[in-house]
Structure 1
């Protein structure tokens, strides 16, 4: 990892154009706004002129030639929000308008996180170009997908030839425009992967200017060891590290400051480590995440074999009982079904409720067997309630924390998904900035805009400045708020009046226009 620190904050981004206003033709002018330019600096009153998808003027635009003007009447004008941690593959086909993101002020997303991505980056980004979505989209090349492509379901360390083959896939992905390398080390096949194996792939991403983003091996009992591993990978591969959705679960609740100290120590030694967060006390992932690592597999047929083998199942149950005891869980009421394709009537119910509905004993072991039966039937996406507000606050106040939803493009009304896909940014701005005052408005917007833009090499994104892409959000800082809840997740954020993507009005007067003007976000290795 380079011993150059990327400060990611409070940079002087605001500038006025030297062009004569009278000679410029504007496609759109935003008048009378309070501009929060993304730098972290205090807001100022002014206008923004847009032409051909670019910001061409910032200041007091009086006598100008314009096609359309919007008087925003003292609302906030800010750069469009950049969500660096999403999972949108396949969902973008169903809902290319990405309504849940647009209504939350998001103009750009990066997918391919947590070790899962398309392997053919060139083909995927070409598909995105042809599809035309309402948001800008970039992607990582994912270690788990790369490993599966070369090694299938093997839980062994790679041979020299297999390691080289994986490195070639990463190299091709970086040359085709990937932002960097992602891992998901609680998921198969990431669980099988050694630190050295990952370092080898990270070195390839580093050669092409990429970053290493990781869903660590643990966010609960072994979180401190997991942070150390992430930092070690960065040091060994000389690559910047982004710790994804940093959070603290049982049995380490209230120890977030210790986790941040590990990051701060690495930074003080000159290593480039940052993190991101979603502002919720519940997480969301597969029900399989509760199954012991040794029993995990990428193949449903193998799961069925293991779960129907009496000896193997007994071992799984015993280890899950021990893990629950370690975490202090007396039942699984904290685990709520988001999507269960085999029986959608169970969506929104906890494992405890489902176990009772099945007429089984109200014991921890019975609930574990209920979970295993569900896993054997089909994929189960869950919402896990298990964090606390004090850790959210401490992580949020750390200056090198950015905001990211860990969400996806949602089909409105389908399932009981985590509310983060709908409300991450509005929740930060409404609950944590305005109500709780954990951080300032300007700092929150910096973490949503210029910080991720700089971090991931999006040179034309993330600031209200002449020459930048016209990705802009206009909102009321006095009313902006998330509406999505765990019980009623399908609700768009409110308080956003306008969202502009590459100069095109995509949200106008609080309504999606249907415009699909998003573009591909290419990584630093493109064409090298």
Structure 2
């Protein structure tokens, strides 16, 4: 089936020839005259795409007949963008992302628990595809407090001393591992491991979870633990822990937001990851194209010593509702009164971002966070258009095909080992899912800023999920909810 798809992507028609085309079937949807780009085969040509029953069933230079037709002249027809790392899993967040070209949005770094609740809450009512890993943070909260909330849940964050900063007993560790295995069997897409937010999570505890992951063939999506100081020597250490654990256990590891966790150490960190991969270690990484991060102000990331660990000061922290930079006094006030609120941390060198975006094999992921009354980080709205508009068109930091691959094929392949459905995403080939993003390479751009973070991207007029247009002429199709859950084993 994959060979047939590649043949179709290279222009070998699924139908019998010109005569068959003229008298051929009527497709549910035909995308006419677009620049069809497939990152797996490298195919890049003007063609028509026929869609039926949610699948790509024809790619042809000859005219195709369709019940619905989209004129894609001047537009790139790319695989729908796949975001491995988003926390914005609410209807507003999904709509912001789909207008940025995202067709599959996954919560893999923090994860969710119980995963069945995550999937049940979205089935039949979600515009794009969705999925989640198993959240060790929420599992720990459940074991210690009886509540399985996320960090931005007020009732959970105020009890972080119990679940984040108190070591587990052997019995609690055994229960943690058992729940993880059960949740993976229930459909979780691997392990979500927020090490920096869980300072009591022991290295041996992580190692045991990695062994479990290797046995399950489940990837580990990790926010690495905090460095003791924000210098190259210390920034390397958390990365080395993950690479060593992956090498010794055989687990697959994905290191999240390499820009914010590497800072000035980006060059040796990427070299280490490349070297590990050359020697057979299954390790990958991602980056968002912004020079600021975002996190919960009441989290363990801001425990005593955070300025040394982050290489930052109060003035580097922005309060999104007002845009003000913090002082020691305002920081203490907000951390006490609104510990669940997100802040923006301006600490990432722009050169680090560009190096990571351009580096071969580094995926693009948004790390989108929920918006509160329109305030928040622009990455949940503009990540993918920003890469295409700024780093491809303006900076020429990477080619258009490479950028598309980083947003589609690479994340799909990261999950194929546990989710066979991902083998049919991230490509534009006959037989694959009709998750497609149509954008204008001359105009696509992010418009969201730190001051106006929910201004949607420009130059993305059509987005299709499972053969169903969910963005038409740049506007949301409000009645379209074709999104499906992406789970392990399916």
TM-score, length-normalised on structure 1? 0.80
Q: State the partner residue of 1:384.
A: 345
Q: State the partner residue of 1:372.
A: 332
Q: State the partner residue of 1:119.
A: 113
Equivalent positions of 1:135-174 (< 5 A) are 135-152=128-145, 153-154=162-163, 155-174=165-184
1:240 to partner: Cα distance: 1.0
1:480 to partner: Cα distance: 0.3
Q: Give the 3-state SS of the residue equivalent to 1:191 in structure 2.
A: coil
**Is there any run of 5+ residues in structure 1 with no aligned partner, and where?**
1-10, 294-315, 340-346, 352-366
Distance in 2 between the 1:390 and 1:12 partners?
A: 40
Q: Give the 3-state SS of the residue equivalent to 1:499 in structure 2.
A: strand
1:201 to partner: Cα distance: 2.1
Q: Give the 3-state SS of the residue equivalent to 2:9 in structure 1.
A: coil
1:272 and 2:285 are equivalent in the alignment = no
Any conservation in 1 of the 2:38–2:44 contact (CA below 8 Å)?
Answer: yes
1:486 and 2:450 are equivalent in the alignment = yes
Q: State the partner residue of 2:393.
A: 434
**Is there any run of 5+ residues in structure 2 with no aligned partner, and where?**
1-5, 146-161, 417-421
Distance in 2 between the 1:461 and 1:444 partners?
A: 16
1:211 and 2:214 are equivalent in the alignment = no
Q: Give the 3-state SS of the residue equivalent to 2:271 in structure 1.
A: helix
CA RMSD, 1 decimal: 2.3
Give CA deviations for 1:263-321 in whole Å, capped at 9, x if unaligned.
Answer: 1221122101110000011111122357664xxxxxxxxxxxxxxxxxxxxxx5xx46x
Cα distance 1:410–1:519, how it changes in 2: closer, same or farther (>3 A)? farther
Any conservation in 1 of the 2:294–2:344 contact (CA below 8 Å)?
Answer: yes
1:199 to partner: Cα distance: 2.2
Cα distance 1:69–1:208, how it changes in 2: closer, same or farther (>3 A)? same
Any conservation in 2 of the 1:186–1:289 contact (CA below 8 Å)?
Answer: no
Q: State the partner residue of 1:6.
A: none
1:112 to partner: Cα distance: 4.4
Cα distance 1:494–1:503, how it changes in 2: closer, same or farther (>3 A)? same
Cα distance 1:100–1:455, how it changes in 2: closer, same or farther (>3 A)? same
Q: State the partner residue of 1:519.
A: 484
Equivalent positions of 1:341-490 (< 5 A) are 347-351=322-326, 367-379=327-339, 380-408=341-369, 410=371, 414-457=373-416, 458-490=422-454
Q: Give the 3-state SS of the residue equivalent to 1:399 in structure 2.
A: coil
Q: Give the 3-state SS of the residue equivalent to 1:183 in structure 2.
A: strand
1:127 to partner: Cα distance: 2.2
Distance in 2 between the 1:455 and 1:433 partners?
A: 23
Any conservation in 2 of the 1:13–1:38 contact (CA below 8 Å)?
Answer: no
Q: Give the 3-state SS of the residue equivalent to 2:461 in structure 1.
A: strand
Equivalent positions of 1:43-442 (< 5 A) are 43-62=44-63, 64-89=64-89, 91-92=90-91, 95=92, 98-114=94-110, 117-130=111-124, 132-152=125-145, 153-154=162-163, 155-187=165-197, 190-218=198-226, 220-221=230-231, 222-248=234-260, 253-289=263-299, 293=303, 316=304, 319=305, 323=307, 332-338=314-320, 347-351=322-326, 367-379=327-339, 380-408=341-369, 410=371, 414-442=373-401
Any conservation in 2 of the 1:248–1:254 contact (CA below 8 Å)?
Answer: no
Distance in 2 between the 1:150 and 1:289 partners?
A: 19
Greater radius of gyration (CA) = 1
Distance in 1 between the 2:141 and 2:300 partners?
A: 21
1:143 to partner: Cα distance: 1.4
Cα distance 1:290–1:184, how it changes in 2: closer, same or farther (>3 A)? closer
Q: Give the 3-state SS of the residue equivalent to 1:394 in structure 2.
A: helix
- Bigger shift: residues 190-199 or 478-487: 190-199
Distance in 2 between the 1:240 and 1:451 partners?
A: 14
TM-score, length-normalised on structure 2? 0.86
Any conservation in 1 of the 2:311–2:347 contact (CA below 8 Å)?
Answer: no
Cα distance 1:241–1:327, how it changes in 2: closer, same or farther (>3 A)? closer
Distance in 2 between the 1:278 and 1:208 partners?
A: 29
